[in-house]
Chains A and B, each alone.
Chain A
Amino acid sequence: MTTTTTEQTATASAARTAPAKRPGGRRREGAAWVFLSPWVLGAAVLTLLPMAVSLYLSFTDYDLFNPPRWVGLRNYTQMFTEDPRYWRSVGATLTYVVIAVPLQLALALVVALGLKSMRRGRGFYRSAFYAPSLLGASMSIALVWRALFNDGGTVDNLFGTGGWVNRPGWALLAVALLTVWQFGAPMVIFLAGLQQIPTELYEAASVDGASRWRQFLSITVPMLSPVIFFNLVLQTIQAFQVFTPAFAVSGGKGGPADSTLFYTLYLYDRGFVASHMGYASAMAWVLLIVIGAVTAVLFRTSRTWVFYASEGDR
């Protein structure tokens, strides 16, 4: 084993210093490219090229039928200064992110804690709670949701709430609830994280007379913080891109009164309903930058509250 490693290292350093001398080096590199080619081709043709085209289109006026017309920054200036509906979509999306993400993570954590302390039937409940995450993204569940919260729907009949999806103040909450309900994926990750926390910590704490709440705050949360952080970043990014639930619940219109006009929904509307592909591309790039910025901010704040078990080693 050791010899192999030494040999490899030697070859590697030889290759680094004098690649030309190494027999078959070029051929091996060629082989690597051959094996990589499906991926490289896929990435280039299906990801990089469309991205480049989209960036180009964002500076043009393009209606799908006539050739794109270069308009410089007009799409961007129009978006920020002349389009009240754009700002309504930004408002709806931010409100949604702020409501849905914390609620969903809190629920996921609570259920994970409950499942962890459960002795029997954990597997069943874990699957049962996870199922909505598999179904939730589908159009059909969103349509069921619409039927539930419609006027004359089940929720209305049971609690006399009136149709939530038809009231501007409440429609967003109905959509957020649909997301919260799909807490399965973060829950499974929380559960895995909880099981990694050494039980000795809790035993020591209870010997010292710490309450359950104290133990939660001083042991569970810090030990779980990398997982919380991971879920937070993932769910936030997803929430910014929410589309299907709002599309189905509002019949594609983002109504009532633009209250569920999420960013992606408005983007879709501009691109595919109004045929302003350039404007839609510009919106997509702004969204990309905003999500990047928000993620960067999350990473920066994480230094103050995320603790890694190996931190002592540093």
Chain B
Amino acid sequence: MPGNRTRKSWQPRITAATAATAATAMLVSCSLLAGCSGSDGASGAGGKVVLRYTWWGNPDRAARTQEAVDLFEKKHPEIEVQTSFSGYDAYKQKLATQAAGGDAPDAMQLDYRMIDQYASGGVLLDFAEQPSALDTGEFDAGLLATGKVDGKQYAIPQARGTETVVYDTAQWKKSGVALPREGWTWSEWADAVRELAKRTGRPGATDPGQSEDAFEVWLRGRGKSLYTEDRRLGFTVDDLTRWWTFADKLRREGAVSPAEQTTQLDGTVENTPLGRGKAISDSNWDAPSSGFVALVPGGVTLAPMPSGEDTPGQYFKPSMFMGVAADTGHPKESVRLVDFMLNDPDAARILGATRGIPVNESLRAAIAPGLKDFDKTVFDYQASLEGDLDAPPQAPPSGDSALQTTFARDYDQVSYERMSPREAAEDYVTEAKAELRS
């Protein structure tokens, strides 16, 4: 029976292959398990306390952060800090997985939209438990409150940013349209983008309809907010319909970018109509707008967001936070690290504006003279708004990060003329209610 022989000859090979696969699988699961038990790695080399500190950012931020951490280790010889970083999207997913597995790093950088979810999931330490290790005396009370959930301080704001109308300086000036001024209203903004489109042949701005951030500024300008204090929706279908009708009309007139351009927005400045040379202005956060400098030949200028009839709408938003894991083995040392990163003058000088303009008020003044280039532009822009803006809202509720995507998607249906503004608004509000209920 020849078949018999054949079978014998391939059997061992299959087994070997399976064994290899299984071994690989076991290695993978082992490393996962090792990762999982990492949080108990309380004290490591030479009896030192070992802390894990993770954050998102770029190589420049990495170099400066490492320098600051080295200084911290020098001042606290009993503590060793292991840092790791990645891009925002990867960071967000990795942190979520770690937190879900009970393995959150001792100290971590957090986004506004993460706080509520992590705090309510029991991942974050209440800073009130370690009052002696952290000094918050130099923080603006309104900004500090953004790190609170249910009255407990789960996160400390590290830097602040604010929305801006960023425009192609040369093109706007050449068009002869009056330059944006502080306190301009949304209808003045609309007139300006219409006029810009007429005179330059290019849309005056990115279609703001897809941006939840722009909508929030507009909404606050009308005395409302995205969310109420008890984490429900702070606006109605009518409000959203009005906003989308406003944007949709401008788009139909060609005053703002067409759907084909708007749909390519992905959070990078390279894919904005302004960055692609297809519009005169964009609305964006101030610090990331530095990317336009390399893309827009005539340079860019930062102008305030349009305001409502009697209130500005715009606000200083904490651009990132620091938090400590609730189940860290070393709460005191972890909080001390947070305190160092946010309050130490030497650390501040090293870090500069790499995470935005510091929230600590005396440090902000201390680093100001040393700022260069776009850091200085952002600093001056923020200084020009100082005292004019309302307090920021509390941290958005857990469902918000999904809703931000939904917002852009629903507006896609409007800008491709597949839904009316009202239909899309109803869609959004239905989804938002479901999202916030769960």
Contact = CB atoms under 8 A, between A and B. Distances in A.
Given A65-B117, A255-B263, A276 B438 contact: yes
Nearest to A35: B15
Interface residues of B, number: 44
B99 A256 contact: no
Contact of A273 (B25, B100, B118, B405): B405
A45 B29 contact: yes
A19 interface: no
A46 B276 CA distance: 46
23 contacts: A38-B18, A39-B18, A39-B19, A41-B26, A46-B29, A61-B438, A63-B117, A63-B121, A64-B96, A64-B97, A65-B120, A84-B427, A163-B260, A254-B409, A256-B416, A257-B259, A257-B412, A257-B413, A257-B416, A258-B409, A258-B413, A275-B117, A276-B438
Contacts of A167: 260
A276 to B, nearest CB: 7
A289 interface: no
Contact of B264 (A42, A251, A272): A251
A272 B93 contact: yes
Nearest to B18: A39
B401 A273 contact: yes
A226 interface: no
Interface residues of A, number: 39
A274 B402 contact: yes
Q: With a 10 A CB-CB cut-off, give which of B97, B402, B408, B427 has the most chain A CB atoms.
A: B402
Nearest to A259: B416
B204 to A, nearest CB: 19
Interface string B381-408: 0000000000000000011011001001
A42 B22 contact: yes
Contacts of A162: 260
Nearest to A272: B93
Contact of B263 (A39, A84, A166): A166
B401 to A, nearest CB: 7
Contacts of B96: 64, 275
Interface in B109-136: 117-118, 120-123
Interface of A: 1, 5, 35, 38-39, 41-42, 45-46, 61, 63-66, 82, 84-85, 150-152, 162-163, 166-168, 251-258, 269, 272-276
B22 A63 contact: no
A237 to B, nearest CB: 21
B34 interface: no
A168 B263 CA distance: 10
Contact of A255 (B1, B123, B409): B409
Given A256-B412, A274-B401, A276-B438, 16 more contacts: A38-B19, A38-B21, A42-B18, A64-B99, A64-B121, A82-B434, A85-B409, A151-B261, A162-B260, A166-B261, A252-B266, A253-B409, A256-B416, A258-B409, A273-B401, A273-B405
A273 B150 CA distance: 25
Contacts of A41: 22, 26
Nearest to B418: A257
B22 A166 contact: no
Contacts of B402: 273-275
Nearest to B265: A251
A63 B259 contact: no
A253 B408 CA distance: 9
B412 A258 contact: yes
Interface of B: 1, 4, 15, 18-19, 21-23, 25-26, 29, 93, 96-97, 99-100, 117-118, 120-123, 259-261, 263-264, 266, 276, 398-399, 401-402, 405, 408-409, 412-413, 416, 418, 427, 434-435, 438
Contacts, number: 102
Q: With a 10 A CB-CB cut-off, give which of B21, B22, B26 has the most chain A CB atoms.
A: B22
A42 B20 CA distance: 11
Given A61-B438, A273-B405, A274-B402, A256 B259 contact: yes
A273 to B, nearest CB: 6
A85 B117 CA distance: 24
A261 to B, nearest CB: 9
Nearest to A270: B402
Nearest to B267: A251
A38 B123 contact: no
A92 to B, nearest CB: 13
Q: With a 10 A CB-CB cut-off, give which of B118, B121, B122 has the most chain A CB atoms.
A: B121
A163 B399 CA distance: 33
Contact of B99 (A45, A61, A65): A65
Contacts of B4: 5
B258 to A, nearest CB: 9
A166 B260 CA distance: 5
A82 B29 CA distance: 38
B398 A274 contact: no
B408 A38 contact: no
A46 B24 CA distance: 12
A208 to B, nearest CB: 38
Contacts of A150: 264
B29 A255 contact: no
B266 A251 contact: yes
A65 B416 contact: no
Contacts of A39: 18-19, 21-22
Contacts of A168: 416, 418
B438 A46 contact: no
Contacts of B25: 42, 45-46
A28 B99 CA distance: 46
A245 B174 CA distance: 42
A252 B405 CA distance: 10
Contacts of A276: 438
Contacts of B266: 251-253
Contacts of A257: 259, 263, 412-413, 416, 418
Contact of B405 (A46, A64, A166, A269): A269
Q: With a 10 A CB-CB cut-off, give which of A163, A272, A273 has the most chain B CB atoms.
A: A273
